[in-house]
């Protein structure tokens, strides 16, 4: 192994350690985010609030795209990321619906809150 | 609107504000993570390091599942999240490959670094 290759291997290790730390941030932040969407789902079911809010979702998409541009992240990726999160929130709600006795239509409709 | 409904609406607003703040964390953290995977791709291409590292990927998956359990996040979601990130890293590399004159096989192979 040449000196240059050894330096590259050391740099690679440092990048991977950073990636691992960033992944921990991502996992814990996603966990916190799901706690909030779950609480929102319960709130809407308990208080008969409108289950879907297209204006809110459009606002979220526009905001994420803006944040992505500021962070030098592909805005298309930001859109796909939100779609991925939405699909996971839907899966959560569906699982709760199938396991709950009286979840019914209200729970199904909460899937719009992301 | 009853008092209870007004309180629920206020709580909903607070949850949404938290979700928006968490989304900003997610976008910036993802942007930082992609900077590292891009640097890794360049390092590997420049120094002829092995492009793929299945042991590293298996370690990442196991670690993310463990973090997810600690954070009370569905471990299955953690796996799907990593797969989503991997697909985005691959897309980035492919785009760089198609736009670069001499990217070739080495760039293609870098797609394994996630």
State the 10-residue block means of pLDDT for chain B, 114 residues long: 85 96 97 94 85 84 95 92 84 66 41 56
Instruction: Please count the CA atoms within 13 angstroms of the CA of B6 that sit on its side-chain side.
Output: 3
Least Cα distance to A40 among B92, B16, B35, B68 occurs for B16
* Domain boundaries defined on chain A: 3-112
Contact between chains at B26 and A23 (C-beta distance less than 8 A): no
Distance CA B114, CA B40 (A): 9
Contact between chains at A77 and B64 (C-beta distance less than 8 A): no
Model ipTM value = 0.83
Give residue A107's pLDDT band: very low, low, confident or very high (50, 70, 90): very low
Burial class (CB in 10 A: 0-12, 13-18, 19+), A86: middle
Tell me the H-state helices in chain B.
Answer: 3-47, 54-70, 75-99, 104-109
A102-114 mean pLDDT: 46
Give residue A109's pLDDT band: very low, low, confident or very high (50, 70, 90): very low
pLDDT tens track for A16-55 = 999 999 999 999 999 999 999 999 989 988 888 776 788 8
Determine the topology of domain B3-112 in CATH: Chorismate Mutase Domain, subunit A (1.20.59)
Distance CA A17, CA A4 (A): 20
Distance CA A64, CA A73 (A): 10
**Residue B18 has which token pair?**
């938290």
**How does DSSP assign B2-34, residue by residue?**
-HHHHHHHHHHHHHHHHHHHHHHHHHHHHHHHH
Residues 3-62 of A with CB under 8 A from B: 4-5, 8-9, 11-12, 15-16, 18-20, 22-37, 39-40, 43-44, 46-49, 56, 60
Other beta carbons less than 10 A from residue A65's beta carbon: 19
Q: Nearest 5°: CA angle at A23, between B113 and A9?
A: 40
Question: What contacts A34, CB < 8 A, 6 or more positions away?
Answer: A88, A89, A92, B73
Tell me if A79 sits within 8 A of A65, measured CB to CB: yes
Least Cα distance to A20 among B102, B112, B29 occurs for B29
Burial class (CB in 10 A: 0-12, 13-18, 19+), B87: middle
* pTM for this model (two decimals): 0.83
Residues 71-110 of A with CB under 8 A from B: 71-74, 77-78, 80-82, 84, 88, 92
């Amino acid at each position: 192994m040449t000196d240059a290759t050894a330096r590259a291997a050391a740099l690679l290790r440092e990048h991977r350690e950073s990636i691992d730390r960033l992944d921990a941030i991502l996992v814990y932040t996603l966990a916190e985010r799901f706690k909030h969407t779950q609480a929102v789902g319960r709130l809407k079911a308990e208080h008969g609030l409108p289950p879907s809010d297209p204006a809110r979702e459009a606002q979220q998409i526009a905001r994420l795209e803006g944040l992505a541009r500021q962070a030098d992240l592909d805005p298309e990726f930001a859109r796909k990321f939100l779609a991925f999160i939405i699909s996971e929130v839907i899966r959560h709600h569906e699982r709760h619906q199938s396991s709950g006795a009286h979840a019914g239509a209200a729970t199904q409709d909460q899937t719009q809150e992301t």
